[in-house]
Amino acid sequence: MQYRTLGRTGVQVSSLVLGAMNFGAIGRTTQDEATAIVDAALEAGVNLIDTADRYGDGESEVIVGKAIAGRRDDIVLATKAGMPMGGRNHQGSSRRWLVTELDASLRRLGVDHVDLYQIHRWDPETGDEETLSALTDLRRAGKIRYFGSSTFPAYRIVQAQWAARENHLGRYVTEQPSYSILQRGIETHVLPVTEQYGLGVLAWSPLASGWLSGAVRAGREIDTHRATLMPERFDTAIPANRARLDAVERLAKVAAEAGLTMIQLALGFVTAHPGVTSAILGPRTLDHLRAQLAAADTVLSADVLDAIDEIVPPGLDLAPDEKHDTPPALLDPSLRRR
């Protein structure tokens, strides 16, 4: 396992992170199965576990808490808040909600603090000063060690850094964006900004929701858990999905010629970028984890990286409609009309 410094925090984290989104009903992963996954990940050298209140409406946090009981000090523990969790004010990044929901997350996890608390999505209804002030106070109270953002557009990352400086508040020290061979848009704006401000980057969906797991190939029935949950993302009648399938076929040849699995190619690509700290794994089963851990020490040669660039050019998203950092006014016509 490789280890990198998480931004400028001085904290050493593994290049592969265990993501717990699939723990519980959403991934049909039981407590015993999840505990076995955590055990295997820690044994392999993974030292950061990432979850969120939204995952299973808290179920993932409960499962993670039970799985890490008795070994909390060996783990860099991260969770997130901000996605809807119920009523009108049970979401977003207001002080009212963050203070309340962090306490709920700590109860579910069975811990007295988390190492990294992340704002799950940018909240356009709440000012940066409000959010950063609340997070700074939670850090001073000892309930969190650091705080970060997730899936923020580049200009919001910059704005939050300025707001922290101007108001003498703590700042985001990490960003968690979506990044894979098939979704390279963050190379255009987000990664240059995170590198400029020294943020650690924890990349989610490095296997592109299963497209890069090796399970999706031309002429083969698509049989992945994500295809069941989100069939439109795998419908090859959609142009973006046809483009992805074409790219996957070409990438499979690159992987084979390099003596790598598709998973090794995909994870090796993400962790090769100097602006990326770690890639977040999202296994549902122990077999999934083992296949992903095989990429722990994968280092792609320049020839392989050049071949990938020829198939999916730098900065290109093959499925731009699936980005989660689009400015609200592009999605809601009422926000761009007087």
The pLDDT score that the predictor gives to residue 226 is 60
Question: Which percentage of the chain shows pLDDT scores above 70?
Answer: 97
Measuring CA to CA, which residue among 202, 153, 213 is closest to residue 173?
A: 202
Task: Encode pLDDT of 92-118 as tens digits.
Answer: 999 999 999 999 999 999 999 999 999
Task: Encode pLDDT of 218-246 as tens digits.
Answer: 767 766 666 666 777 888 888 889 999 99
| CA dist., res. 4 & res. 12, Å (int) | 5
- 262 contacts 251 by C-beta, under 8 angstroms: yes
Question: Which percentage of the chain shows pLDDT scores above 90?
Answer: 84
Give Cα separations from 194 to 11, 231, 275 (angstroms): 17, 33, 7
Q: Domain of residue 23: give its range.
A: 3-336
Q: Environment class of residue 323 by beta-carbon count within 10 Å: exposed (0-12), middle (13-18) or buried (19+)?
A: middle
Active site (catalytic) residues:
55
Task: Encode pLDDT of 56-71 as tens digits.
Answer: 999 999 999 999 999 9
Which CATH number belongs to the domain containing residue 220 in this structure?
3.20.20.100
Amino acid letter, 191: L
Q: Which residue has the tokens 């007087």?
A: 338
The average pLDDT across 274-288 equals: 97
Tell me how many domains the chain contains: 1
Q: Is the pLDDT of residue 155 over 80?
A: yes
* Gyration radius of the chain's alpha carbons: 19
- Comparing 112 with 86, the larger pLDDT belongs to 112
